[in-house]
Amino acid sequence: MSPKEFTDYLAKNFQINFSDLDLLKEALTQRNFLNENPKETGRDYQRLEFLGDAIMQASVTEYLFKRYPEWDEGQLTEMRITMVQTKSFAHFAKVIHLNEAIRLGKGEEMSGARERPSLLEDIWEAFIGALFLDQGQKAVDSLLMQTVFSAIDENFFDQFIDFKSRLQEKLQAKGAVDIDYTIEGEERNEDNTQVFKVSVSLDDHILAYGYGSSIKDAEKAAAQQALVDLTE
């Protein structure tokens, strides 16, 4: 994707129009690209990443604080950890096509860095830093509403939560010990895909059922349902 194609894409899909295109370029520039192109002026993305990392953390914190007025600091912290992590930011970097716009060194390109989660996380943060400097906190919040924050409503972050561990911690805190997962059934959908039904039980008393296309997914779903039931 050329710089022009990328800025057009940002404008059309996310209403983002950079005033200082050098700032955007800096956010997209990996160190080896500069080494290989000595005529290039400007820096790599790392300073902007330093800024954007803190801006992301504060933006997510403020959003969660206001969205969940009844949550205590433990619940808020847990949710923030789930949202502010490499896999999450790498995903959103791809959602806005940052991966296609990175100015990457040749060696890095060959080794597949353009799809590497740790680089995508860095570039996401650097991009947020550049957007913050160029357009301010409101523009950052607007982009996050269209990506990271709306993903909460789509249960996007569930995939990063270890519901089985969380259920175990919760039950052990109450003194309980014997948690079992049992396969209760196995069916086939109309399209011939498998569905597993799993129960989770505490001291031989069934807490909840879960369904999934693998036993692992079904167990996770059962643990998640049990947590929901316990919290209500």
The Cβ-side half-sphere exposure at 4, using a 13 Å CA radius, reads 0
Looking at 26, 121, 125, 134, which residue is catalytic? Answer: 125
Question: Closest distance between its own copies and the C-beta of residue 157, in Å?
Answer: 18
**Token pair 């914190």: residue:** 61
53: annotated active-site residue: yes
**Nearest 5°: phi and psi at 17?**
-130, 100
Amino acid at 104: L
Tokens found for residue 138: 């409101």
Question: Closest distance between its own copies and the C-beta of residue 43, in Å?
Answer: 8
Looking at 53, 121, 134, 219, which residue is catalytic? Answer: 53
Tokens found for residue 97: 């096509």
**Interaction of residue 34 with its own copies, rule CB under 8 A:** no
**Interaction of residue 65 with its own copies, rule CB under 8 A:** yes
* DSSP symbols for 103-150: B--HHHHHTTGGG-HHHHHHHHHHHHHHHHHHH-HHHHHHHHIIIIIH
- What are the residue ranges of helices labelled H in the chain? 3-14, 21-27, 31-36, 46-67, 73-83, 86-95, 98-101, 106-110, 117-135, 137-144, 150-153, 163-173, 215-231
Tokens found for residue 45: 């993305």
Question: Closest distance between its own copies and the C-beta of residue 196, in Å?
Answer: 38
Which amino acids are annotated as binding site for Mg(2+), given as ranges? 49, 122, 125
Count the residues of the shown chain that bind its own copies, applying the rule CB under 8 A: 19
Instruction: List strands edge to edge, sheet with 179-188.
Output: 179-188, 194-202, 205-212
Rounded CA gap, 198 and 183, in Å?
4
Residue 89 or 132: the one with the smaller Cβ distance to its own copies is: 132
Residue 141 or 184: the one with the smaller Cβ distance to its own copies is: 141
The one among 13, 15, 37, 77 contacting its own copies by CB under 8 A? 77
Question: Closest distance between its own copies and the C-beta of residue 132, in Å?
Answer: 8
**Interaction of residue 154 with its own copies, rule CB under 8 A:** no
User: Quick one: which segment of 25-33, 54-62, 160-168, 186-194 binds its own copies (CB under 8 A)?
Assistant: 54-62
**Interaction of residue 50 with its own copies, rule CB under 8 A:** yes
User: Quick one: which segment of 22-30, 50-58, 194-202, 211-219 binds its own copies (CB under 8 A)?
Assistant: 50-58
Question: Closest distance between its own copies and the C-beta of residue 133, in Å?
Answer: 8
Question: Which residues, numbered 102-141, are part of the site for its own copies (CB under 8 A)?
Answer: 132, 137
Residue 52 or 105: the one with the smaller Cβ distance to its own copies is: 52
Rounded CA gap, 172 and 170, in Å?
6
Question: What residue ranges bind its own copies (CB under 8 A)?
Answer: 46-47, 49-51, 53-55, 57-58, 61-62, 65, 72-73, 76-77, 132, 137
Catalytic residues: 53, 125
